[in-house]
Amino acid sequence: MSGPTADGAGGAGAPLVVGVGASRGVPVSEVLDLLTATLAAAGCTGRPVAALATVSARAAEPGLIGAARRLGVPLRSYPAAALAAVRVPDPSPFAAAAVGTPSVAEAAALLAAGPGAELLSGKRKSAPTGRPARATCALAAAAVTRCGAVTAGREGAPAAPAPGADIVMSSPNPPRHGRDRRTTGIGDKAPDSETTGTKET
């Protein structure tokens, strides 16, 4: 199937996708603190975030849903098999044993950012005080096409096609800074996908 040709990824105007891995019970604050630290370390503070992305087995985690709601962006989830097909620099045997894919954060970020996406920040772990980390995240930027469009939202790994994502929470309005940010409800159905929350095991 032909489509726009991408000139590259990671341009200053390209939206970011945040891939998030999480243990059960991760707090919203831990996810948001990790995201803030990762954006700062990558020199991306202030850049728009288009979506959070994770594995289907963690799509119903209140901490991830709450973080997406606070940011005013959708939370996309992918089957473990789709994430396992994405090449990443830092695969983890622990993640493979826990959720069936050697990468969640990096693979989900690349998959959700679309064909030609670039990983801007590899996997980082949260650093809560007094207890083990429960979250990881990675940043990917969508490719910018010759006509100025971006590929974010066209789910697909750089190396292989992937099924559409389940959208846990959608936000039809662009994220807005300040107190007047609005989001839509949880459980909106994505095209060609199953209702979110049914894949949790």
Burial bucket for residue 77 (CB in 10 Å: 0-12, 13-18, 19+): buried
Q: Are strands 16-22 and 49-55 parallel, antiparallel or unpaired?
A: parallel
pTM of structure: 0.70
Task: Give which of 48, 52, 54, 53 is closest to 11, Cα–Cα.
Answer: 48
H helix count then E strand count, the chain:
5, 8
Question: Is the model's pLDDT at 156 over the cut of 80?
Answer: no
> pLDDT tens digit string along 59-76?
999 999 999 999 999 999
Over range 124-129, report the average pLDDT: 94
pLDDT at residue 5 in the model: 34
Q: Kindly give the residue spans of alpha helices, DSSP state H, lying in the chain.
A: 28-41, 62-71, 80-84, 93-99, 105-113
The domain 17-169 is placed in CATH, from the list 3.30.420.180, 3.40.190.10, 3.40.50.360, 3.40.640.10, at 3.30.420.180
User: What are the residue ranges spanned by the domains of the chain?
Assistant: 17-169
